[in-house]
Structure 1
Amino acid sequence: MLHLRLIVPADRTDEVVALLEKTVGTAHLVVLAGAARSPAGDVITCDVAREAGDGVLRELRERGIDDCGSIAVEHIDLSLSKRAVKAEEDAPGEGADAVLWEQLSDATHEESTLTITYIAFLTLATMIAACGVVLDNAILIVGAMAVGPEFGPLAGICTAVVQRAPRLAWRSLVALIGGFAVAMVLTVGFSYFMDAVGLFTSKQAEGARPNTSFIWQPDLMSFVVAFLAGIAGTLSLTSSKSGALVGVAISVTTVPAASNAAVAFIYGDYDQTWGSSSQLLVNLAGIVLAGTLTLVAQKSLWARQRGRERAAVREG
């Protein structure tokens, strides 16, 4: 269930209440007349089944409630109410399959912005991975993959394509390309420093590394894994399954590929640099393609589901 908290101008309260009352899947409607001060107006709260949430939010925004008032959404972890159970039963479809496009757009907006924090996490992840590739240590590689925040802008690109949001697409591309560029340049400097103090050596970097050699040897399997990870990552975002997203992060060699390209570059091993860069591009392309197709499929399936429900209501 979702909890909506709305601030509505007093002269539009009846309109919003009527909308919420006629929406299948709502419960616990409360109106607090004159309770809001900034902006001034009435406070309306109600619980909405997740599968009905996207429709309600879309209608509220079409009516301009976000401009003249406020719309806030919270997830309810536990609701002990027969009315809530009935609301979920009456709402079309299953909550786990529903996509809250407004929430997805908001989440990807935050995660796909080129900020100092984003660059810091991506750079630290790339440096950790650099240590992992030089030491041929798979544990460090996995740790670096979990730290990397690059799935945010990748999801932003997918969402922007499906929602036709050019600003989100541009912001995500800037974060993705700019973030990796900065992280790789800083990792080159880090690698030079580690070599200068004797912690990195050319013998380590160019020797046999059975645990990490896959990083600079892209093949069809690399694309397959990235494609599957893109599907899983997108589903984890739309269903709010953060645990699954962590699994996605440690299954795709984006950060390790960027780090290996930086390390190989300082030792003049341009074959490894090119191979690692190709691995990075293959993984990014696979995730974006899979994520976009997943969102398109979800949007299409949900639209058909809503269409069947509306048809059933008309016939009834």
Structure 2
Amino acid sequence: MPRGAANGVLEDLRELGVDRTGSIAVDGVDMMFSRSAERIEAEQPRVLARAPLWAAVEARIRAEGTYVPSFYLFLAIAGLIGAVGILTNSQILIVAAMVVGPEYSAITSIALGLDRHNRRRVREGTRALTAGFLPAIVVTLGFAALARATGLQSKALELGLRPVSHLIDTPDFSSLAEARGSALLGVSISVTSIPAASDVAVSLAFADWHQAWGSLVQLLLNVVVLVVVGVLTLRVQRRLWQRATRTPGLR
């Protein structure tokens, strides 16, 4: 049976209450040889073979929405890496901070909670982001203050030349047009959360209150936008796939 067809089967089982009175377990098949299965697959719309198994997608999001101590640790580490990137005007380190940061698991979990009207999931995800970002900013602030006290910041930063920080704080068209080719990467990643959190801490350490406020607003705006995009993506893709799999004669 094509993978996409399992969505209907799972919906029917849930309507029968199997998941409430018992349990439903789904296991993937790595390899199968079957003439009958090949014939059935050939007779079915090809879109069914490409359709995602939504139960598995949601289960993966729910599994990633568990906030163990390492979640908060990696947020703090990502904040420190982002601070080094800002202090040295290094776009590569900003990207590295994004790779380390685990905040997207919480953001997608909140999006799923909003999509499924699960208040507990939304509440836990919001709490995890708040409890994660605040300590990360505090730790990063201490690191940036130490860097300033020991003179480890770059000369360009001392002169007020902060292209990476500026792009994080104000990622507008003019900054894109004025940026050098190598700095364009900073524009594309400045709409994320970890660089904005790092810039809040660095700006506070260097008493740049305007920059700190702008980065804080950018952080909150980015998280909200990512959650909204996540909800819309889940809903739109689910409806598109449902419509495609129900269209007769689709090949």
Provide the TM-score with structure 2 as the length reference.
Answer: 0.79
1:27-176 to 2 correspondences below 5 Å: 49-66=2-19, 69-91=22-44, 94-95=47-48, 98-176=51-129
| 1:276 to 2:215 alignment | yes
**1:107 is aligned with what amino acid?**
R
Residue among 169, 180, 183 paired with 1:216: 169
Measure the CA separation in 2 of the matches of 1:134 and 1:83: 62
Q: 1: CA distance between counterparts of 2:99 and 2:114?
A: 26
Report the secondary structure of 1:190's partner residue: helix
Residue aligning to 2:240: 301
- Are the equivalent residues in 2 in contact too, given 1:113–1:175 (CA < 8 A)? no
Alpha-carbon distance, 1:103 to partner: 2.2
Cα drift, residue 214 of structure 1: 0.3
Once residues 143 and 49 of structure 2 are traced to their aligned partners in structure 1, the CA distance between those partners, rounded to angstroms, is 44
Deviation at 1:308, TM superposition (A): 3.9
Q: Alpha carbons of 1:218 and 1:252: their partners in 2 closer, same or farther (altered >3 Å)? A: closer
Counting aligned pairs with the same residue, the percent is 38
Residues 134, 205 of structure 1: 8 Å contact kept: no
What is the rounded CA distance, in whole Å, between the counterparts of 1:198 and 1:135 in structure 2? Answer: 12
**Distance (whole Å) between structure 2 residues aligned to residue 259 and residue 66 of structure 1:** 44
The amino acid of 2:226's aligned partner reads I
Is residue 2:193 matched to residue 1:193? no
Query: Once the 2 structures are TM-superposed, how far is the Cα of residue 203 of structure 1 from its aligned partner?
Result: 6.8
Counterparts of 1:123 and 1:193, CA distance in 2: 16
Identify which of 228, 235, 245 aligns with 1:289: 228
- Taking a change above 3 Å as real, the CA distance of residues 162 and 97 of structure 1, as seen in their structure-2 partners, is farther
Alignment-mate amino acid for residue 72 of structure 2: I
Give the alignment partner of residue 133 of structure 2, picking from 176, 180, 191. Answer: 180
Please identify which structure carries the higher strand content.
1
User: How many Å apart are 1:86 and its aligned residue?
Assistant: 3.5
**Unmatched 5+ stretches in structure 1:** 1-24, 26-48, 223-248
Tell me the amino acid that sits aligned with residue 192 of structure 1: A
CA change 1:258–1:205 in 2 (3 A) is farther
Secondary structure of 2:9 counterpart: helix
Would the aligned equivalents of 2:148 and 2:206 in 1 still touch at CA under 8 Å?
A: no
CA distance in 2, matches of 1:152, 1:56: 28
1:278 Cα deviation from its structure 2 partner? 2.0
1:204 aligns with 2:143: no
Output the TM-score relative to the length of structure 1. 0.65
Q: Choose between structure 1 and 2 for higher RCO, CA contacts under 8 A separated by at least 6 residues.
A: 2
- Note the C-alpha offset of 1:297: 1.3
Q: Deviations over 1:146-174 (max 9, x none)?
A: 11111111111221222222222212212
